[in-house]
Structure 1
Amino acid sequence: MAKVLGWGWWFAKPFLIAYLVVLLVMTFLETWLVYPAPEPTLGDWVSSVFDHEDVEFQSADGTRLHGWLFEHPDPKQIVLYFHGNGEHVAFNADLMDELRDELDATVMVFDYRGYGKSEGKPNEAGVIADGMAAQQWLAERAGVPTSEIVLVGRSLGGGVAIAAAEKLGAKALVLQSTFATMVDAAAVHYPWLPVKLLMRNRYDSIGRIAAYDGPVLQSHGTSDEVIPYSEARRLFEAVLSKQKQWVDVPGGYHNTPQPASYYPVLREFLEGLPSVEPADGSGRLPAQLLKGEKSP
């Protein structure tokens, strides 16, 4: 019997070593897999079609970040857009212009650290800090509390937007093609790897959204091949707010654009929300919000 076990170990040993090597390689590749930032030279950086302003600001640790601001002369909404992990601001000019027009909104899109013209290297804590810094910058620019900013997050951006809303509040969370947790989404694609034990970038959206009691509009493609529809629904069911609405994108894949029918739904959803004004009537952001605290 011992001899049989010995022979079994002799045959299994190469496979075990190979598996451990794969685990090691995947661990080293995690940052690249989670944050496949496109080359900064890609995209349309010089288009004169869309009227926008280049903006620069700093994250909490001093990392310099870059974004584009699309101002509306008489905005009904102030919107901050959190893009997905495979794009940067130069891929989103047409979408931001569409959001400005469809929602009568001032819209800002920015790049996380390591993306586009933003400095640094991405990781979960840093990217979330970047999102909060963008929300604080936009709130100060607009002269409203951070809780008056509408946060729109797609895919990875949904996880970042939820984390920002947990800390700074939001007028509404608009989630598109996003996950309950990043580790659960990854486990679907790598069932043969212990991703729930090894992943450093976890983005526990389903846990964080429990701390946010504001309105949520969530949409998801019924054929999403990256983040399963069931995972998105699991996140939606965890939303505590009674002001929540689900929108199906029939036959939509992960990168399928929102259909034209989506924007009237989004506009009606946002226009039904109450407005929040600065408590002192000054039009300036209260000092505690600049430090990342919630308003009293």
Structure 2
Amino acid sequence: MLTFLLAAAISYTLTDTSVLQPPKAPAMAVWTSEPATREAVEFTAKDGSRIRGWIYRAKQVDDGRTVATHPFVLFFYGSNEDLVHEEARLAWLRDKLHVNAVCFDFPGYGFSTGKVNVKSTREIALEEYDFVHDHLAAQGPRGDGSLPAIVTYGWSIGTGLAVHVASRRTVAGLILQAPPASADEMAAWSSKHDVPRLARGFVKVTVDAEVQPIYNNVQEIASISAPLLVVQGSEDDVVPITQGREVFAASPAKQKTFVEVPGAHHSDLRVGHPPAGDAVAAFLQQTAAGQPFATPAR
């Protein structure tokens, strides 16, 4: 009995380094390579970190609009990815959907410097938006003097950053791919599915208090009125689709759409293909014609 009680008390806590897992950094030369395809951009964060990213600038197309009116999409990737992993998605956003696609490496990831932790990553996500707004979008105002729309788009753990930015800055829309609902639900799911089979029921997964905010999308999305698109695979085995539906239900947006991709899991959802690709394309097309929704001031 004593052995059982001791085993039942075992817990594994998800910390910064177990949630944010940067892959092996690519050579720095890659960041400035292919200047004809994309532009390397960087800024110094308030904590001194050098945050580096890419912008895939929209090209002029015969759609009755000028390049200056094309939206900006600020993309946040998943835990163990970096800029290089998202090259194809960023190029697709620009080439097929005619938007300005922007993505930065998290602090301590890829080409960026800084400490790998949730708190600084969330804070710097806001600075990334400010850089896009003040330096990139400001280069191409609309005919009436207003700036192009900015949409935040997150995948997996990156949805927590996209939601965080949308809750504190002005965005024209929010796209979420496989968003967790809360830290508690992700811990419960992980306890059932990530713990080795023989240890299930004995080991309980918990989430460190510093890490919890990046998972708490249901709580944070409640203040966001911007149009919302949620895309998720029906067979997602990392973030259950039920959590994505919870996030969707918690949004007060009057314009919102949930797209379930039949048969898709967490990492094999092909966002550039229907039905996900069609949904993202329609969402951004509508966004391009609209005006940003007001959110709390900086």
**TM-score bracket, shorter-length normalisation:** 0.7 to 0.9
Aligned twin of 1:156: 157
Distance verdict in 2 for CA 1:120–1:49, change over 3 Å: closer
The corresponding residue for 2:211 is 201
| 3-state SS of 2:30 partner | coil
Which of residues 44, 54, 57 is equivalent to 2:40?
54
Q: Aligned to 1:36, what secondary structure does the other structure show?
A: coil
Q: CA deviation at 1:173?
A: 0.3
Aligned mates of 2:8, 2:26 — CA distance in 1:
37
Instruction: Choose which of 90, 108, 119 in structure 2 pairs with 1:125.
Output: 119
Q: 1:146 to 1:136 in 2, by over 3 A?
A: farther
Per the TM alignment, residue 230 of structure 1 is displaced from its structure 2 partner at its CA by 0.6
The offset of 1:30, in angstroms, is 2.4
1:40/1:112 Cα in 2 relative to 1: closer, same or farther (>3 Å)? same
- Tell me the TM-score normalised to structure 1 length: 0.80
Separation in structure 1 between the aligned mates of residue 27 and residue 230 of structure 2, nearest angstrom: 29
Q: Distance in 1 between matches of 2:254 and 2:121?
A: 29
Q: Is the 8 A contact 1:43 1:91 kept in 2?
A: no
Deviation (angstroms), 1:59? 2.5
Partner of 1:285: none
- The match for 1:4 is none
Within the candidate set 73, 79, 88, 1:94 is matched to 88
Q: Which residues in structure 2 correspond to 1:99-178 (within 5 Å)?
A: 99-140=93-134, 141-143=136-138, 148-178=149-179
Q: In terms of mean alpha carbon deviation, does 72-81 or 124-133 score higher?
A: 72-81
Kept in 2, the 8 Å contact 1:209–1:238? The answer is: yes
Match in the other structure for 2:297: 294
Structure 2 vs 1, CA of residues 197 and 79 (structure 1 numbering), >3 Å: closer, same or farther? Answer: closer
Q: Return 5+ residue gaps in structure 2 as ranges.
A: 60-66, 193-200
Question: Counterpart amino acid of 1:260?
Answer: H
Per-residue CA deviations over 1:60-87 (Å, capped at 9, x if unaligned) read 3232211011111425211111111110
Report the Cα distance in structure 1 between the residues aligned to 2:162 and 2:126, rounded to whole angstroms.
8
Q: Which stretch of the first structure deviates more once superposed, 205-214 or 190-199? A: 190-199
Root mean square deviation of aligned Cα: 2.9
Correspondence for 1:234: 246
Give 1:53 shift: 1.0
Q: What's the secondary structure of 1:81's corresponding residue?
A: strand
Q: Which has the higher helix share?
A: 1
Paired residue total: 267
Question: How many percent of aligned residue pairs carry the same amino acid?
Answer: 27
Deviation at 1:199, TM superposition (A): 4.8
- Rounded to whole Å, the distance in 1 between the matches of 2:187 and 2:112 is 26
Q: Residue 70 of structure 1 is aligned with which of 40, 56, 62?
A: 56
- Structure 1: 5+ residue stretches without partners: 1-7, 278-291
Amino acid at match of 1:275: G
3-state secondary structure, aligned to 1:272: helix
- Alignment partner of 2:77 out of 83, 89, 94: 83
Q: How far, CA to CA, are the matches of 1:147 and 1:128 in structure 2?
A: 24
**In structure 2, distance between residues paired with 1:269 and 1:173:** 9
Confirm whether residue 31 of structure 1 aligns to residue 22 of structure 2.
no
Task: Tell me which residue corresponds to 2:281.
Answer: 267
Secondary structure, aligned partner of 2:73: strand
Q: SS at 1:40's partner residue? A: coil
User: Which amino acid counterpart does residue 258 of structure 1 have in structure 2?
Assistant: V
Using structure 2 for the length normalisation, give the TM-score: 0.80
CA contact (8 A) 2:218 2:247 kept: yes
Taking the aligned partners of 2:273 and 2:250, their CA distance within structure 1 comes to 28
Give the whole-Å Cα distance in 1 for the aligned partners of 2:85 and 2:176: 19
**Cα shift readout 1:9-40 (whole Å, capped 9, x = no counterpart):** 4x55xx62x666x53xx44x622320111010
Q: Determine which structure has more spread, i.e. the larger CA radius of gyration.
A: 1
State the structure with bigger RCO (CA 8 A, min sep 6), 1 or 2: 2
Distance 2:20 2:247 in 1: 22
Write the mapping of 1:212-291 to structure 2, written as runs, cut at 5 A. Answer: 212-256=224-268, 257-261=270-274, 262-273=276-287, 274-276=289-291
Tell me how far apart the structure 1 counterparts of residues 208 and 147 of structure 2 sit (CA, whole Å).
34
What is the alpha-carbon distance in structure 2 between the residues aligned to residue 44 and residue 247 of structure 1? 38
Once residues 255 and 37 of structure 2 are traced to their aligned partners in structure 1, the CA distance between those partners, rounded to angstroms, is: 33
Instruction: Check the 8 A contact 1:249/1:259 in 2, yes or no.
Output: no
Deviation at 1:43, TM superposition (A): 11
